[in-house]
Structure 1
Amino acid sequence: MKGYGQFCPVAKTAEIFAQRWTPLVVRELCFGPRRFTEIHMGVPLMSRALLVQRLAELEAAGVVATQPLAQGKLYSLTPAGRQMSELIALMSDWGQRHGQGRIAHEDLDPTLLMWGMKRQIDPRELPPRDVVLRFEFRGLPRVHAARRYWWMILRADDVEVCLKDPGREVDVVVNADLEAFVRVWMGHRGLADALAAGDIGFSGERMRVVELKRALRMEDRAALKTLAFRPAA
């Protein structure tokens, strides 16, 4: 970890936080303690060796704490690390307002979308009964073409994401252009416009569709979302 040779607190914060990938690693830990594989799911393009290095650097800096498990470690933010969640939220807000034009087709990753939706769902918005959703995406980048189909199970106390058919009866099928869905979910585009254009379609019982829209906070009109940290219990 290279320093800037300055005593300025901005420089000292940057020495820890402004390393490549570090903000995204901290972002993952803002949602609660994580195993190494769970952190890597949120930064799949980061090499495992570099993730090991960044986690060790953050631990040495007093930002991350570890707890030994029977296999591997459990990583969590220290009190100092949890204060960095404010930086992550500010970065998210700035990116929502000023960075949406920088989203390239190659940035569209259905895995990150499903993972992001799962952790942003408010437990208070989950239906009292299980609702099984199937997502059928089109317009995927070639590198993600094999990950067109996904399943999500909304439970009263949990959300499960599956890349393979869980063998449950499906309540709602979502057929969508991936870019259109990402932009609606992030609040850059209204759902009503995407539905009218045929970029997104729902099939299933009306009440189940309503539950889906409420859980994912998909609004008819464009409304930028704020990042909500919902640590696992």
Structure 2
Amino acid sequence: MPTSRSYRDSCGIARALDIVGERWALLVVRELLFAPQRFSELRHALPHVSSNVLTDRLQELEHHGVIRRRPAEGQRVYELTERGRKLEPIVLALGDWGIDAPQPPPPAALSATSLLIFLQRAARPDPAAPPTTYRLELDGRVWTLRLASGRVQVRPGEPATAAVSLRAAPKTLSALLAEPATLATACADGSIAVAGDLSAIDRLLHAVTDPWPSGDQERHADVAGSHTS
């Protein structure tokens, strides 16, 4: 059942932790950063949380105005409220801080949202290169990636047009980000499915391992490797 525990501390930090300090709460927020999700999608993204605990966290976050439920295509989805959206920079800052922490023991999960957050934060494509749009399918869900003006933009859903389409498991794509030289092998053995301009995939991978401008390459390579289990 939902917890009513409190630090009983008037500090704003303590009051914030009263709301989002329980296990899995901030990971639920992470999963909703890009798009609303159904309960089943959240369970898939967070495979080590039980259904009962996830239900409790969702009820608590909804009670505190962090998320809300709404109908969508005959089903119920969860999405961040305006108040919940204010947690985004906090969650992203936690990710930056935690990138140097030890990897968890296997089996470790890696959600599509986590990988997309990493791509958006770590990739630094050449700002002089022409814009490129990608269709990316991860765990059965389609995303649009756009490389433009030296940044990666992510949004849910199908692109109107795309230079290339890539289908992969999040962990497989994470491994490619750590070792772009294995792209041809991954295509050949069926680990990934690519349709369109393969060189565009190569540019995306190298935007992480060899970001533009150079000078922070070692750091980004370490970050990419930390996402690979």
TM bucket normalised to smaller: 0.5 to 0.7
Counterpart CA distance in 1 for 2:83 and 2:63 is 12
Q: Corresponding residue for 2:133? A: 126
Cα offset, 1:214, TM superposition: 3.2
Change (3 A) 1:114 1:156: closer
Distance 1:173 1:69 in 2: 25
Equivalent pair of 2:71/2:77 in contact (CA under 8 Å): yes
**Residue 224 (str. 1) matches residue 220 (str. 2):** yes
Partners in 2 of 1:153 and 1:63 — Cα distance? 25
> Which residue does 1:24 correspond to in 2?
27
CA shift for structure 1 position 32: 2.1
Does the 8 A contact of 1:126 with 1:215 survive in 2?
Answer: no
Deviates most, 39-48 or 65-74: 65-74
Aligned-partner Cα distance in 1 for 2:55–2:113 = 21
- Which residue does 1:55 correspond to in 2? 58
Q: Which has the higher contact order (CA 8 A, sep 6+)?
A: 1
Shift of 1:89: 0.6
Contact 2:30 2:114 in 1 (8 A): no
Q: Note the C-alpha offset of 1:219.
A: 2.1
Native 8 Å contact 1:33 1:75 kept in 2: yes
Q: How many residues align?
A: 178
Q: Deviations over 1:121-178 (max 9, x none)?
A: 67x6425xx7999xxxxxxxxxxxxxxxx99988789889xxxxxxxxxx9899xxx6
Query: Following the alignment from structure 1 to structure 2, what is the Cα–Cα distance between the partners of residues 172 and 26?
Result: 26
> Residue 202 in 1 paired to residue 184 in 2?
yes
The question of whether the paired residues in 1 share the 8 Å contact of 2:38 and 2:77 is answered with: yes
The 8 Å contact of residues 172 and 208 in structure 1, kept in 2 or not, is answered as no
Deviation at 1:120, TM superposition (A): 6.3
In the TM superposition, what are the counterparts of 1:79-90 in structure 2 within 5 Å?
Answer: 79-90=82-93
Alpha-carbon distance in structure 1 between the residues aligned to 2:81 and 2:38:
15
Tell me how far apart the structure 1 counterparts of residues 7 and 137 of structure 2 sit (CA, whole Å). 51
Quick one: distance in 1 between partners of 2:184 and 2:85?
Answer: 38
Q: TM-score, normalised by structure 2?
A: 0.59
Provide TM-score, normalisation by structure 1: 0.58
Q: Tell me how far 1:68 sits from its aligned partner.
A: 3.1
Q: Is 1:12 equivalent to 2:19 in the alignment?
A: no
